[in-house]
Amino acid sequence: MSARLERPLLRGAVRELAGSPDLAALAGIARDLGHEVILVERPMPDAVSVVGIGRALEIVSAPGGVRAESAAGQVLGFEAGPPLAAAAVLWSQLSEGIVAEDEPGLPGTGPLALGGFAFDPAREPAPPWEGFPAVLLRVPGLIVSRVRGRTFACLLDPALEELLELPPAPEAAAPPARHLELTPAQEPAAWMGSVERAAELLRDGEADKVVLARELVARADGVINAGAVVRSLRAAYPACFTYLVSGADGTAFAGATPELLVRRLGVTAVCQPMAGSTARGRDEAEDEALAAELLASAKDRSEHGVTAAAVRDALAPFASTVEAADPEVVRYTNIQHLATTVRALLLLDNPAPALRLAAALHPTPAVAGYPRGAAVRLISSLEGLERGWYAGAVGWTDARGDGEFAVALRCGLLWEDGARLYAGVGVMPDSNPAAELAETELKFRALLGALTG
């Protein structure tokens, strides 16, 4: 149910930039200057990369639904219901009042809502996630998008235009971090005990699969600069989505994830769920051997099959056809995953927008387990940590309902001289706790290497 909506009229302009600014550097500079920042970047030929700076309006979670707020904090409206579905409704209504001249009509250009949501979008995250609401979609005052090799700026707040003319970031005033002191939130032996207990419960029929995560606390001997972290992640993991979301309390959420939750363009939706992992080899021959072992692993094939099937089923009510490719091994800098590309032709009469599809898909078995309800109950009883936005999603959506959301993995919550890192594994009835521990260590490496440059 909607409360009375005060639809603000926001006017702006879109222009193509002659140069090609470094989006991660721009995000870092803006954050250092005290602006709110959201960055989602994937430097692939057909991908959309976008940074949003400042706030024109936003949609945030509230008791019983979501509310819209102006930049001054005025409540513009409220939509009751499950938060993600309610946010999709409210954004559709609000976007009608946002006008930008010379909008080129390309995906990711013009006025956008950027943001994301927690692993549990129906519950406000507990500490240490005070700076992040369960759901946040923000229309920034300045949006810079890179699409198919072209860069566009959409300006809704003229005061932010000067950011487009700033020189590269100056040298940091404080020394950067060079050494990290690492402390697991839970001792490895105790965590492996939780994995063994989970496997026992799965063998007893409690669920088919459950995902358990670990938390690692890093204390640094210098400053951890969020902008430098995402630039380092982008360089090390060029095929991944790199992202940065500044928190209201001065923290920042950053990471590099390989997994696409959903991309919606027109009447087509694409998902690429991943489940089942192995390390990279020292050379091509070892890479191929490890990939072959992954494809042949009964445990990993079963885990992956559950995930791909759940994604197909979640898309089916919104589509006339849903097709899934055969599982394949996709390679990233330090890890290989089993992945399935799922494509759906959405119903032509009022195709579901990207955020509505994300609401139906999340959480997939790749980050929760299966069946969803049973898996979430096991996570609550066995995991012992506050996930916050870890295993939630980050992305963007536009007024047409197009958009892209990535699963928030390989990530951490950063503050001035420290970070909380998160990594999870899919536990199956025959899981080996030591092997699952080793997989989390492999996944932690993504952010650990970036924290010290």
Nearest to 10 by CA among 90, 100, 126, 73: 100
- Cβ within 8 Å of residue 388, ≥6 positions away: 118, 119, 125, 128, 129, 132, 253, 413
Separation between Cα atoms, residue 384 and residue 191, nearest integer Å: 9
Pairing state between β 142-147 and 150-155: antiparallel
Q: Which of 58, 259, 383, 404 is catalytic?
A: 259
With beta carbons less than 8 A apart as the criterion, state whether 207 and 368 touch.
Answer: no
- Cβ within 8 Å of residue 49, ≥6 positions away: 23, 40, 41, 42, 43, 108, 145, 146, 147
Q: Which of 41, 58, 79, 209 is catalytic?
A: 209
Nearest to 241 by CA among 444, 83, 49: 49
304: three-class secondary structure by DSSP: helix
Phi, psi of 259, rounded to the nearest 5 degrees: -105, 125
R_g over Cα of the chain: 21
Separation between Cα atoms, residue 418 and residue 424, nearest integer Å: 20
Using a 10 angstrom Cβ sphere, with 0-12 exposed, 13-18 middle and 19 or more buried, the burial of residue 355 is: buried
DSSP code per residue over 208-239: SEEEEEEEEEEEESSB--HHHHHHHHHHH-TT
With beta carbons less than 8 A apart as the criterion, state whether 451 and 219 touch.
Answer: no
**171 assigned to active site:** no
With beta carbons less than 8 A apart as the criterion, state whether 439 and 277 touch.
Answer: yes
Separation between Cα atoms, residue 270 and residue 90, nearest integer Å: 24
Separation between Cα atoms, residue 394 and residue 343, nearest integer Å: 20
Separation between Cα atoms, residue 311 and residue 368, nearest integer Å: 13
Tokens representing residue 251 in the block:
């923290």
Helix intervals (H) in 177-283: 188-203, 226-236
**443 assigned to active site:** no
Q: How far apart are the first and last CA of the chain?
A: 48
Sheet hosting strand 268-272, strand order edge to edge = 75-80, 65-70, 57-62, 135-139, 112-117, 393-398, 403-407, 260-265, 268-272, 342-346, 319-324
- The residues annotated with a catalytic role in the active site are 209, 259
